[in-house]
Amino acid sequence: MRKIAIIGAGSIVFCKTLMLDIMATEALEETEFVLMAPSTAKTSQVEAFANKVIAENGLKSKVSITTDRREALKGADYVICTFQVGGVAAFEMDYKIPLQYGVDQCIGDTLGPGGIFRALRSIPVILDVAREMEELCPDALLLNYVNPMAMICWALGETKVKFVGLCHGVQTTLDLIAGYTNVPKAEIDYVSAGINHMGWFLKLEHEGKDLYPLLREKFEQPEFYVNEKVRGEVFRHFGYFMTESTGHLSEYVPWFRKNERELALYCDEPAFGGESGAAYAWSAYVADKYNQPNIMDNEPTKLPARSVEYCAYIIEALETGKPFAFNGNVRNDGMIANLPHDCCAEGPIYADRTGLHRTLLGDLPPQCMALNMTNINVQRLAVLAAKSGDPEAVVHACALDPLTSAVLSLKEIREMVTEMLEAQAQWLPQFAGREPKAAPTIAIPHDVQRAEVPIDPALAIFSRFGELAK
């Protein structure tokens, strides 16, 4: 039996989805699942449900639970990570503290103060998992679903483990494109590349015909544009369609959430269209719903069709040799030529019996690369902060964040970071006893005399203009 360890299996909905996908794959019926979480309160319910599915469908799979991560990892063939350090309590702070300062987030799990602090909590844990994998299952593949995807995978890229980061942004965006162009999703030939949650569709074709002219035409029509205002605006001005929704994308750029006017104009749609705190509100609702005893008792046990998640298809390809193409997150190392080698890039990957094989894509269009870099700069500093425990690096990451810097002054950013570090100290042991330097306001008396200092020669000419003006 192949052994699959799921780290963070207390995430009931997602854990259930991935397990059912794997069980519904004929070649993977004989699988041992080991579900690990710090508590068995939720994993025991998933175990009971999974055993019902196995019995009803005549499968040969096995399921067990543990609170010992090393026990789960020992001898594993595949490791799936789905944990969320701090859970909804930390998520609430990620959203509400920045909001008090004027930074309004919709999702808050990828960039912005919320994404940065999620990385600070999660990267030390994923690196512990990687170290234990190097010892206990060195040949295993880590399939990561933990956000912020790009920062987590950037940190993993500095370890020896085999890994790939998985998201569903590409396949769900293709559903939208299919609807806009009236072309079946399966018939669209595409190439998507960039970074997680900011990948660009470099190619969109149907039977050799470019779909971009039709897509551009649709986005000039109000009834289509209104569904994806933020993504539509970036498409209209940057020339390429992107893999992430209005709610997500509005946080990664400085233009749409910086004041009430822009929020009302671009982020007023319900259901993750960009409204404030949408993801936190949904997470709190789901957590409350599934925090009930016997919540899984009435779940249907008949195996459904596989979901859009890539996980089961990748494992099937590695086990059987049946090729599977998908978009994954890996250390760049030249996959996208004009992005940094050490960053996490997202692009086409092929899985077969011999492993995972990336596609070398060359350069992104310069405007797409430049917008990716505004996020990559933040990712680099957040990874550094998470690993080093340096609070100044957290300040720097937030100061370079496109949304935060569009709203706050440097002093306000420093104050916000200090408050967030204090509030989340229980999940951030690497910062114990350390906080950002204070930055008090410098009082300037109305009659202050300028210090006698040499004038920069490059500015001297402007002083001369002032004298001439007099």
Active centre residues (catalytic): 168, 252
106 annotated as a binding-site residue: no
Helices (H), 229-305: 229-238, 246-252, 260-266, 278-289
167 annotated as a binding-site residue: yes
How far are the Cα atoms of 87, 106, 123, 274 from residue 96, in angstroms, in the given order?
A: 15, 11, 22, 16
227 annotated as a binding-site residue: no
Burial 161-181 (b: 16+ CB within 10 A, else e): bbbbbbbebbbebbebbbebb
How far are the Cα atoms of 84, 148, 151, 382, 412 from residue 110, in angstroms, in the given order?
A: 13, 4, 8, 11, 21
Phi/psi region, residue 182 (left: phi>0; alpha: psi -120 to 50; beta: rest), is: left
E-assigned strand segments in 145-187 = 162-165
Phi first, then psi, for residue 193 (nearest 5°) are -160, 155
- Close Cβ partners of 419 (under 8 Å, ≥ 6 residues apart): 97
The Cα–Cα gap between 35 and 16 comes to: 11
Judge whether 46 and 16 are in contact, CB under 8 Å: yes
The Cα–Cα gap between 131 and 129 comes to: 6
The Cα–Cα gap between 55 and 39 comes to: 25
- Residue ranges of the binding site for substrate: 147
Binding residues: 147, 167, 197
Q: Which residues fall in the annotated binding site for Mn(2+)?
A: 167, 197
